[in-house]
Structures are given as structure tokens and as C-alpha cells.
Amino acid sequence: MSAQDSAASALAKSTASADAVADIGEQTRLAARRRERLMSIGSPLGLLLAWELAAQTGFIDVRFFPAPSTIIVALWRMLMSGELIEHILISLQRISLGFLLGGIPAILIGIAMGISRPVHALIDPLITATFPIPKSAILPFILLIFGLGELSKVVMVAIGVFFPIAINTTAGVLQIPPIYRDVGRSFNASHWDTFRTIALPGALPFIMTGIKLGAGLALILIAVAEMVGAKSGIGYMIWSAWETFAVARMYVGLFVIALIGFGVSFLLREIERWVIPWKTDN
Amino acid sequence: MEDRQLITLPEKTAQRGPKISIRHLIKRFQSLVAIDDVSIDIEEGTFFAIVGPSGCGKTTLLRILGGLETRTSGEVSIGEPTPGRPQHSMIFQGDSIFPWMTVWDNAAYGLRMRKAPKTEVETSVSHWLDRTGLTRYSGLYPHQLSGGMRQRVSIARAFANDPEVLLMDEPFSALDEQNRTILQQELLRIWEVDKKTVVFITHSVDEAVTLADRIMVMTASPGRSKTIIDVTLDRPRNVLELRNDPRYGRIVYDIWGHLRDEVERARD
């Protein structure tokens, strides 16, 4: 097969797969996939149903495990009163601001460390020394410095996302094959052009991994920070529900925070597909 | 880019020395002598090939010409480029096009790095993608192309930059034999139109004889110039027909005579 042919076949792949749908083997495979999808929707539904039944029949203690129907009613009430939306929005705002505050310097510093050996020698020990400190353990310190206002929550998230993004960005720059830098030098690329056309795009898959790790940490930290030092947000909502023994509200909080986590990872997958088009065929 | 107009005015054909001049070039890596006192003159418009056993310093020589490596001592000069044009462009061994850029953006890279006007980028890139048979693939990413196609992009990128001198470092060594033959023919076809000065590194004697006007044979470590051979085969050349030409066989045989001892020495 000539080079031209194989590239042409890459082009033709998308049309070929459309034709193959008519294929018998393909159809049974599609049916199997549909069955699998039904099963993966069915298992959580089944669990909810069993839970509901167990609660209704008094098999489990509804003070600790209120029936799903009770939780849904609580969720509906909180939604209607506007209270839930308010908590969600304030938490999302803290997470977003924290992401910007921590993520942008993390990418810049990470790339600088990957490009320049002196910068690496200067900053790497600081990161290595501070990275192992559990971020939740510095919450009192952050509250002391930044007070009980918005800033302390934003800073918590920022610190949390900074480390995985900075570390992954540096690793991402360092794994760029040296030939690409030779190409840049050979075509007289300026420092700015090297950053823009080689270091940043070359490290982008690693940066995205760092951002995904950071997102997980951000959710943990925002919940913890709001439980201790806030009067609003999902974390605060869960904590105050525990304090007033409003167990259904607590479950609503857990459900919502899980939903946020799901939404964030979906969003990041879409962003990844958009900013790294050379990694995926579409 | 207003000063472009001014730049094209002076005729820069006055200078008549060799295009590339290397005098007593020495390159040492700590105690290892990679290149030992090499002197070459390469006339403008010459396709100059350098063959030698692996580790003879031929790639190092090219990287010094390309400004990617420093020299220990000696002189290296490439004739002043026509103002507005770059002095040299390099075609690398193996995959060197950026995976994160489309074929088009890869081919435009050199022009964009030297801030060429948009219209020049447009015309030059589309011209060279056309000459390398890549027009249909201009929106694809490298991972969607075969190895041969990717190396074509690398060739288009270097030619589109319109340099005075092309530096090629074993550009076809990673390809299978059929693709190599096809690309050699394409390179000849492209090159024979405007005959830029080329320095071409290869370990393949056949490839050197097929493509070059002059061939320098290098000795095994330390790299010295063993001999320089003129290839007097007619142009335009056809890669397949050449194999049937008795003169081709004689030149290949001749070069192997010079190379044989060096290859043996390199193995010790």
C-alpha cells in the first residue's frame, strides 16, 4: 500500500464505518451495547427501589437512611424556595475563581520550570517541600490569613489545584521530544513563539490531566472549607443539615455535590476534545 | 513589512565565492573528537551529499551548519542570503512535524516564524503542498498520515520557507524502501526545478549517488573528509532508470571502495 493510499484510507474511515452499520455482525454488537446501557441504568435504579422498599417496610432506620422519596421531596422543596440554587451557585463561583487563581499561575510556572533549568532548580524544591502537606490541614492557617470571607474559600481551591496542574505541566513540557525544539531553533522561533507553538501545545495533554486531578481536589476542598468556615455553599448546607439533624437535606447535599462532580468531569472531557483535536479522531 | 520594497532593489548576484565554505572545522565532545579538520567548498546550486559510517560525525557537521551545534574551532560560512529570505532550512531525520498542527500549519511554520506577510504564506504554502501532493490533506493532523506523508510535510515546510540552502539529515532513513524510492524521485523532481544548494546527509551510498552532484566520503571516528567524488550523471534523473545505467554502478562501486575500510574500522 502506498503512502497516498493509507492516508486516503484514513480519510475514508468515517464513511466506511457508516456503511458497516448494515453489517449483521455490527448489528448484534449494537444490540449488545444497547443491552449493556440498559443494565448500567438499571443497577442504580434497582438499588434506589430496594432502598425505598426497605425504608417503607421499616427494614432500615429512616432516621439515618430516609427513603429516596423523602429525599426527592426535600430536594424539590429546596429547589422551589431557591435556597438550593443559591448554595450551588456560590460553591461553583468559589470553585471557578479558585481554579483561575491557582490554575493560571500553575500553567505559567509549570511551563517555565519545564523550559528553563535555573527556574526548575529554583522552584522545584519549594513545590516538593509543600506538596505533601494535606491541603485540608492548612485550612485554619488560610482562615487566619484570609478571614472568613469569600477569599479564604477561593484560596483553598487555588492551592489545591495549583499543585497537580503545575507538576503535570512541568512533566508535560519535559516529555516533549527534543527534536521539536530543534525545529523551533532551526526556524529561528523566538522565546515567545517557542512557548506558544511548542511548549504549550506539546504539554497540553498533560496539563489537561493536571486540571482533571485538580478538579477532584477542588471539590473535596470546597466541601471541607465551606463546612468549617462559611455560611453558604453546598459544604455549609451539608454541615448545617447534620447540626440540625435534617438528614434528608444532608442527602440532598451529597446528591448535588456528586452531580457537580459529574458535570465538571463531563465539561472537562468536552474541553479536552476541543483543545486537543490532534489526539482524537472525529 | 513596509521595508520589503526597499530590500528587493539591490542585485545580490555579485558575490561569486562558494555558497558554503567550511575551513578546518573541528568538533570535540569532551575527549571525543567527532569532526577532525574538515574543509569543504560547496558551490551555489550544488546537491552535495555526505556519506559515512554511523558515528562519523556527519549529522554533527550538518547541525553545526544549521546553527544547532557549536563548533570547537575552524570556520563555517554560508553566503549571505538575499535580504528577506532565510539562510537555511533543515529537514530532520524521523518525525519532526508538530503533531498538534495541521498539515497546512506545519508547512507554514517557517514562514510564520520569520513573520512573512499573510499573502506570501498563503501562496507559498499552497504552492508547496501542491508540489508535494499534500493539498487534499492540508486540514489533517500528522497522526492521520502515513510516515511517508509526514516526511513530505517536512519537505514542504523546508521548501515553503524559501531558504538559500537546504540542510537534510537522513530525511528518508526511517521510511521503507518503496516509500524511500518514491520520495527520492519527488525530491529530485522538486529540486531540479530551481536547484537550491543542498547539503544531504545519508548513510546510503545508493541514495547519495542517486541524488547528488558531489559526494564527500567521511572516515569513521574521528570524522575526516576521505575523498570527494563528482557524480556526472545527467539530469533530470529517474531513480529507477539510474539503476540500469552502468555509470551509476561504477560510481556506487567506487564509493564503496572508499567506504569499506571505514565501515570495518567503525565496527572495531
Instruction: Give pLDDT < 70 ranges for chain B.
Output: 1-16, 266, 268
Closest by Cβ to A183, choosing from B92, B143, B144: B92
Last residue of a domain, one of A8, A36, A60: A60
Q: Determine the pLDDT at residue B16.
A: 59
Q: Is A4's CB within 8 Å of B133's CB? A: yes
Residue A134 pLDDT > 70: yes
Q: Taking CA atoms, what residue in A is nearest to B64?
A: A186
Residue A21 pLDDT > 60: no
For residue B74, give the nearest of B36, B32, B42, B30 by alpha carbon: B36
Q: Does A201 touch chain B (CB under 8 A)?
A: yes
Chain A interface disruption, residue of B64, B104, B138, B146, most A CBs within 10 A:
B146
Q: 3-state DSSP call for residue A180?
A: helix
Q: What is the DSSP letter of A282?
A: -
Q: Determine the pLDDT at residue B265.
A: 74
A280 confidence band (pLDDT: 50, 70, 90) = low
Last residue of a domain, one of A8, A28, A60: A60
How many residues are recorded in chain B? 268
Q: Is B144's CB within 8 Å of A7's CB? A: yes
Q: Does A274 touch chain B (CB under 8 A)?
A: no
3-state helix, strand, coil in chain A (%, to 5): 85, 0, 15
Worst-scoring range by mean pLDDT, A12-21, A132-141, B240-249? A12-21
Residue A233 pLDDT > 60: yes
For residue B110, give the nearest of B94, B100, B124, B99 by alpha carbon: B124
Say whether both A140 and A275 belong to one domain.
yes
Q: Determine the pLDDT at residue A1.
A: 40
Helix axis angle, A68-81 to A83-115, nearest 10°: 90
Q: Determine the pLDDT at residue A281.
A: 53
Q: Determine the pLDDT at residue A148.
A: 87
Q: Determine the pLDDT at residue B53.
A: 87
Worst-scoring range by mean pLDDT, A17-21, A48-52, A272-276, B195-199? A17-21
Last residue of a domain, one of A60, A88, A108: A60
Q: Is A193's CB within 8 Å of B113's CB? A: yes
Say whether both A84 and A145 belong to one domain.
yes
Query: Considering the domain boundaries, does residue A75 fall inside one?
Result: yes
Say whether both A25 and A111 belong to one domain.
no
Is A184 within 8 Å of B89 (Cβ atoms)?
Answer: no
Mean pLDDT for chain A? 89
Q: Is A182's CB within 8 Å of B113's CB? A: no
Closest by Cβ to B179, choosing from A3, A193, A197: A3
Cis geometry, peptide bond prior to residue A201 (ω within 30 degrees of 0): no
Say whether both A38 and A87 belong to one domain.
no
Say whether both A209 and A251 belong to one domain.
yes
Say whether both A194 and A267 belong to one domain.
yes
Q: Determine the pLDDT at residue A282.
A: 44
Predicted-complex ipTM score: 0.88
Distance CA A150, CA A96 (A): 12
Q: Is A187's CB within 8 Å of B89's CB? A: yes
Say whether both A91 and A220 belong to one domain.
yes
Query: Considering the domain boundaries, does residue A268 fall inside one?
Result: yes
Q: Does B54 touch chain A (CB under 8 A)?
A: no
Q: Determine the pLDDT at residue B261.
A: 81
- pTM of the full predicted structure? 0.80
Query: Considering the domain boundaries, does residue A4 fall inside one?
Result: no
Residue A13 pLDDT > 80: no
Query: Considering the domain boundaries, does residue A206 fall inside one?
Result: yes
Based on the structure, what is the number of domains in chain A? 2
Instruction: List chain B domain ranges.
Output: 97-162
Q: Determine the pLDDT at residue A17.
A: 47
Q: Is B90's CB within 8 Å of A7's CB? A: no
A with B: how many residue pairs have Cβ under 8 Å apart? 84
Say whether both A46 and A78 belong to one domain.
no
Q: What is the CATH number of the domain that holds A149?
A: 1.10.3720.10
Q: Is B68's CB within 8 Å of A182's CB? A: yes
Q: Does B242 touch chain A (CB under 8 A)?
A: no
Say whether both A220 and A97 belong to one domain.
yes
Q: Determine the pLDDT at residue A22.
A: 56
Reported as a single tens digit per residue, the pLDDT across A40-80 is 888 889 999 999 999 999 999 988 999 999 999 999 999 99
Q: Determine the pLDDT at residue B11.
A: 42
Say whether both A161 and A100 belong to one domain.
yes
DSSP string, chain B: -TTHHHHTSS------S-SEEEEEEEEEETTEEEEEEEEEEE-TT-EEEEE--TTSSHHHHHHHHTTSS--SEEEEEEPPPPTTS-SEEEE-SS--S-TTS-HHHHHTHHHHHTT--HHHHHHHHHHHHHHTT-GGGTTS-GGGS-HHHHHHHHHHHHHHT--SEEEEESTTTTS-HHHHHHHHHHHHHHHHHH--EEEEEES-HHHHHHH-SEEEEEPSSSB-EEEEEE----SS--HHHHTT-HHHHHHHHHHHHHHHHHHHHHH-
Give the mean model confidence (pLDDT) for residues A137-158: 93
Say whether both A52 and A79 belong to one domain.
no
Query: Considering the domain boundaries, does residue A213 fall inside one?
Result: yes
Q: Determine the pLDDT at residue A25.
A: 79
Containing domain of residue A121, as a range?
Answer: 70-279
Say whether both A47 and A150 belong to one domain.
no
Query: Considering the domain boundaries, does residue A65 fall inside one?
Result: no
